[in-house]
Structures are given as C-alpha cells and as structure tokens.
Structure 1
Amino acid sequence: MTATTTSRAKLDLLERLGADGVVMDGLDAAAVGEAVAAARPDVVVHQMTAISMAHAGKPDIKHPDRWFAKTNRLRTEGTDHLLAAAEATGVPHFVAQGYASWNGIREGGWVKTEEDPLDLLEGTAANVGLKALSRVEDVVLKAGGAVLRYGAFYGPGAIDDQVELLRKRQYPLVGRGTGYSSWVHLDDAASATVLAVEQKARGVYNIVDDDPAPASEWLPYLAGCAGAKRPRRVPVWLARLLAGDQAVVMMTEGRGFSSAKAKRELGWEPRYPSWRQGFKEELA
C-alpha cells in the first residue's frame, strides 16, 4: 500500500501504519503521475481533501466556497490528475470519496437512496462545492469506478471543533431543527472502503449509519454526551444572517440517506449502527 501526504513530517506515521509514504501535491499533474506510476497499484482510492486547519483555517460554514476552495480543486483538478495517471499506468479500479449527510433533494421523504438526486443548493455559496462533488461522481462512474458517499464523519478527532462549540454554547439549533442528517463513524467508513476495493465495486453507494435523524435529536444528544448545556435555539432569519444558507438548509430542510444498497451489494454492516451509540462511546 502506498499512501500520499503533503507533509514530510507524516511519512513516519504512514510507515508505522503499514504504508509506503509518498509526498505528493494532488494539484500537480506530474507529481500525481509519478506517484501512481511508481506504486503501480491495483486500485486508486481518492480521499484527497484540504479541510484541516493547516490547509483551510478555521471552519467557515457561512462561506463554504472559500473554506472548501482547495478541496474543490482537489475534487475537480485532482480527480482528473488521478484518473489520467490511473489510465496511463493501467490501474483497473478507482474508488473516490463522495458525500451524503443532509444534501438529499429537498422534496418527498426525509431519507434518500442512490436513486434520488442530490441537492446542489443552486444560488448559494455551497453550490460550487456540491457541484464539485457531483462532478466527481460523473467522471469516476464514466471511468467504471465507485463513489462512496460518506455521511458526516465522527470518530477520533473528527468532531472536536463541533464539541468545542457546543461546550461554549456557540452551536445552536436553527428553527425547529427538522432537517435530517446521516452520520458514519470513521472506522465504518474505512471498512466500507475496504469492501469496495476488495470487491472492485462500481457505482454509487451511500455509506451511512442506520439512524438518519433531525438536528433536534442529534444535536442535543451530542451536547449531552459532551457534558454541555442544551443548545440554544435561534430563528431561521438570524441563522441565515450569521451562518449562511447551508447551515439553515442542513438544520431545517436537510434529507438523510439510506445505506441499504451498500449492505445488500457489498455486505457492509456498520459497527456503529447509530450515532447514539457512537457519540456516547466517543465522548465517554
């Protein structure tokens, strides 16, 4: 296994985890081509993002077009570089990261399958990032690969920023909190990815737990697990002013997802079937 990083400081960590570490800039076509050619892999697994504090700075949900700017490039230019390198090297299989938490189409039921369209939030600051994710699906499926639409991640380190905001009472519920989200533990996301690699899966799969739920349920529960006070509630107009359209949609109109296809076709079974169990264990 060859794992890429943008930092030489992480090469020792990758080695301890059992991989050959390579420093690679996903936006440098030549570097990507060299890395893939040297590894000669049986599969390319594309998980490149740049949303850590080191790359993107403090989370800015009001301006996702700015906060995700480099990640959006990695999901467009970076995907093209990886696909080109895979084709040039004769790599037979490609798996890429997608997203399925609250972004199902806002009509009909509250839980969506792979057959339902995604909501690209046309006319909002989130549109550019959601279009980038949609493009990943288009080009990877055209190349005969698989896209794993992970739910909102939680697990070691993944929600530290949200927990900190809850403890400061800076993460409120918006309106009635009726918008649904889907979650997945990092370990379960990893196990689904392994299955997709081993089975040479093709197509789109929602990788989410079995408990899509409205913000009015999961946010107070997370606060309780974190030892924080119950979240304040703010009106929609104020949330839109302070946090932008994406936050309002997520909290009030978001649609969650079903993982029935991944269970049926990949044989995937999450270790954490509900965020209720996972949040409690994570913050015990």
Structure 2
Amino acid sequence: MRVFVAGGTGVLGRRLVPQLIARGHEVTATTSGPANLDVIRRMGAEAVVMDGLDAASVGEAVAAAQPDTIVHQMTSIGGKPDMKHFDRWFATTNRLRTEGTDHLLAAAEATGVAHFVAQSYASWNGIRTGGWVKTEEDPLDLHDGTAAQQSMEAIRYVEEVVSKVGGAILRYGWLYGPGAIDSLVGPVRRRQFPLVGDGAGYSSWVHLEDAASATVLAVEHQASGVFNIVDDEPAPANEWLPFLAECVGARRPMKVPVWLARPLGGEVAVRVMTEGRGFSNAKTKREFGWKPSYPSWRQGFREELA
C-alpha cells in the first residue's frame, strides 16, 4: 500500500514511518523544511518538503505521491509547556488541525485517495461528568471558557470533517517515549510541576511505539470511526506524577492547593489534575487486535525515563 504521512519527522512520525516500511508499505513522508529530508530518507521513505498550511503545497505533494492512504500527523508542539496559556502554546497546531486538515482532505478528494487517518487526542479531556474512564461513545470536553477551548474545538473539527469522509480518527493518549515528554521531565526534576489539590483527575498515556503500531493497524484495516489509542491503565495524577518523578530521580512533587494553582497555573491545569477523565482502549484492542507492548505507563516510565 502507498501511504502518505503528513508530518513524518515529528516524535510520532519518526516511529510510524519505519513501522510502515517494515510491514512492506511504500511511504512518502513530509517535513516542513529541507533540514529533515535526510532523516526521512534514512528511514527508507520518499521525502518531500510540504507546508501544511499552504493548499497548493499540500495539493502538489499528495498528487505527486498518489497514495492509497493519507495519515495526518502534522503538529507543532514545542517549547516549555504552558497550561496557563494553552491557546498560545497550541496556536500553530490548532491551525494544522483545521486549515491543514482541510488542505489534506481537498488533496485527497482531488487525487482519489480512498482512505484518511487523522490524529486526535484523548488523555485527560473526556467529558467531566460520570465515571473516570470514557469510551469512544462519550463526548470530549471542550473546556469552554478556558485557554484550552480553542484546542479542544480544533480537535472536534478534525473529528467531524474526517468522520464525514469515512476516515479513522485516532485519539492518542498523552504520548511518552524518547523526545516526547522532555519538556515535562525538566520541570518535574526541578519540582516545578506540582500536584494540584487532591490530584484525583485521570489521564491516559501511550508509548510512542504503541501509538505507531496502532496507526499501522488502522491503515491496514482501512479503519473508519473513532478509536482511543491509550494504554491499559488510565490513572489519577496523584499516582502517575509521583511515579514519574521517582523514575527520573526527582523528589516527590510539591502539593499546591486549588486556590493557589488557579492564578499561578491556570484553570486548565486545575481541571487536568482534579477533574480529568481518562479513556478505555477496549474498542481498539477488539477491532484491530492491538496489544500495546507497554500496557501500563508504570512499565514504560520505568524503562524509558530511568
């Protein structure tokens, strides 16, 4: 199968491209600048420079590749985590999830691409009512009135437009593995990432390699619909954060009351730590036959972050 990976040099793209090639697929992968062309070629894929926010650039790249499937992995998440100004932190990624998705879908229609797979998100953003663990049937929380609202609306947009064309929406949990959470580990080591309130809010995690393997299966199954790509153990912050600190050799995180965390870290951080909802992977395991090699973040943190 010919697979076009938009965003082939991101932390997930660098795991996905080799896995696709190892399974016998012909891969064209994109990068936003020429500096990473050799990175893609060394992985064994055809490399192309593409501006995901430029319709002509996207159209030309897809037309030249003539893929059977497009996999949308374009993001632009970098720098220091900024939960208080989430909208600024994710500003370019939000555009890639809206404008970039539109450009890829238009190119897919113009060239007759039969299948489309897009990245979504499912870590702590399940609807904040009912139980702590959500399925694909449960709505995502838009976090109205917070700095995360624009990002949550961009995620909803991706899911809506990709669903309309019968594509697959992969809701990845909080990605970890080499290069994925360096920006989190640093503050944890410096005790600058505190536990807020009771820390009862849940998150779901997934190792990069497992996220990539699930994506390969979505491509090969020509999947349609929404799938949670998370490990087997959604967990509250009061469990995963102290364990992460232990794995990186840091002291236990400080505890900060909600009333103080809200002006310092913002409403989003408070909700993640105290009200977040995690996700179930039962549908993905059932329909793809997927079995994560890191079934728990406990094993993954210990092996990857020690």
TM-score, normalised with respect to structure 1 = 0.97
- 2:295 maps to amino acid: P
Contact 2:235/2:278 (CA < 8 Å) preserved in 1? Answer: yes
Contact 2:81/2:184 (CA < 8 Å) preserved in 1? Answer: no
Partner in structure 1 of residue 88 of structure 2: 66
Partner in structure 2 of residue 246 of structure 1: 268
Contact 2:127/2:140 (CA < 8 Å) preserved in 1? Answer: yes
Partner in structure 2 of residue 277 of structure 1: 299
Unaligned runs of 5+ in 1: none
CA positional deviation for 1:239:
1.1
Q: How far does the alpha carbon of each residue in 1:207-261 deviate from its partner, in whole angstroms, 9 at most, with x for none?
A: 0000000000000000000000000000112111111111111000000000000
Tell whether 2:57 aligns with 1:31: yes
Partner in structure 1 of residue 228 of structure 2: 206
* Number of aligned residues: 280
Partner in structure 2 of residue 91 of structure 1: 113
The structure 1 segments of at least 4 consecutive aligned residues displaced by more than 6 Å after TM superposition are: none
Matches within 5 A, 1:1-284: 1-53=27-79, 58-284=80-306
How many percent identity over aligned positions?
Answer: 74
Partner in structure 1 of residue 14 of structure 2: none
CA positional deviation for 1:147:
0.3
Contact 2:169/2:227 (CA < 8 Å) preserved in 1? Answer: yes
Q: SS of the residue aligned with 2:130? A: coil
RMSD (CA atoms): 0.7
Q: SS of the residue aligned with 1:62? A: helix
Q: How far does the alpha carbon of each residue in 1:132-155 deviate from its partner, in whole angstroms, 9 at most, with x for none?
A: 000100000001100000000000
TM-score, normalised with respect to structure 2 = 0.91
Unaligned runs of 5+ in 2: 1-26
Distance in 1 between residues matched to 2:63 and 2:117, nearest whole Å: 17
Distance in 2 between residues matched to 1:64 and 1:112, nearest whole Å: 23
CA positional deviation for 1:52:
2.4
Distance in 2 between residues matched to 1:158 and 1:150, nearest whole Å: 13
- 2:275 maps to amino acid: E
Distance in 2 between residues matched to 1:60 and 1:230, nearest whole Å: 21
- 2:48 maps to amino acid: V
CA positional deviation for 1:280:
0.1
Contact 2:132/2:278 (CA < 8 Å) preserved in 1? Answer: yes
